[in-house]
């Protein structure tokens, strides 16, 4: 049994050319999108995992109490937290929100909730 487009030698060449061009376009799109996304992430301070050794100039602190169905919401533990790493945004168990950035950053409370896996 022949694959579609592979039976006739004239069509086979066109089919293989089309597949090669499609592969090249697909690889180019993946590389371009990966590069663009990584550049955007580098500029966003929420993606900086550790602030250790950085010149932190902007700080924010707030207290937040969240209730879901009349019960106080308990923040789930994050397993990937490192003890020797000071994160840019921290939402602690007692409801204290702390943020620190090297550049001025327009933050919103929703970002803290998003980072802490709020339901």
User: Which range has the worst mean pLDDT, 48-52, 61-65, 93-97?
Assistant: 48-52
Sign of CA dihedral 47, 49, 53, 56: positive
Residue range 5-28: average pLDDT? 87
**What's residue 10's pLDDT?**
76
pTM: 0.45
Say if strands 71-72 and 89-91 run parallel, antiparallel, or are unpaired.
unpaired
Give per-residue pLDDT as tens, 87-97.
777 777 777 77
| Residue 118 clears pLDDT 90, i.e. is over it | no
| Residue 5 clears pLDDT 90, i.e. is over it | no
Sign of CA dihedral 36, 42, 44, 50: positive
| Residue 1 clears pLDDT 60, i.e. is over it | no
**What's residue 34's pLDDT?**
94
| Residue 21 clears pLDDT 90, i.e. is over it | yes
What's CA 117's distance to the chain center, in Å? 13
**What's residue 38's pLDDT?**
86
Higher pLDDT, residue 25 or 106: 25
Residue 52 phi/psi, 5-degree rounding, is -60, 125
Domain spans, the chain: 9-43, 49-115
């Amino acid at each position: 049994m022949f694959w579609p487009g592979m039976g006739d030698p004239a069509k086979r060449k066109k089919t293989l050319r089309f597949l090669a061009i499609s592969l090249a376009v697909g690889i180019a799109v993946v590389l371009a999108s990966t590069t663009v996304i990584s550049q955007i992430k580098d500029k966003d301070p929420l993606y900086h995992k550790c602030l250790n050794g950085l010149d932190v100039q902007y700080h924010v602190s707030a207290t937040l109490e969240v209730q879901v169905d009349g019960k106080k919401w308990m923040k789930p533990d994050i397993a990937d937290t490192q003890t020797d790493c000071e994160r840019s945004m921290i939402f602690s168990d007692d409801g204290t929100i702390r943020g620190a950035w090297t550049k001025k950053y327009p933050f919103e409370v929703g970002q803290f909730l998003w980072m802490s896996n709020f339901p």
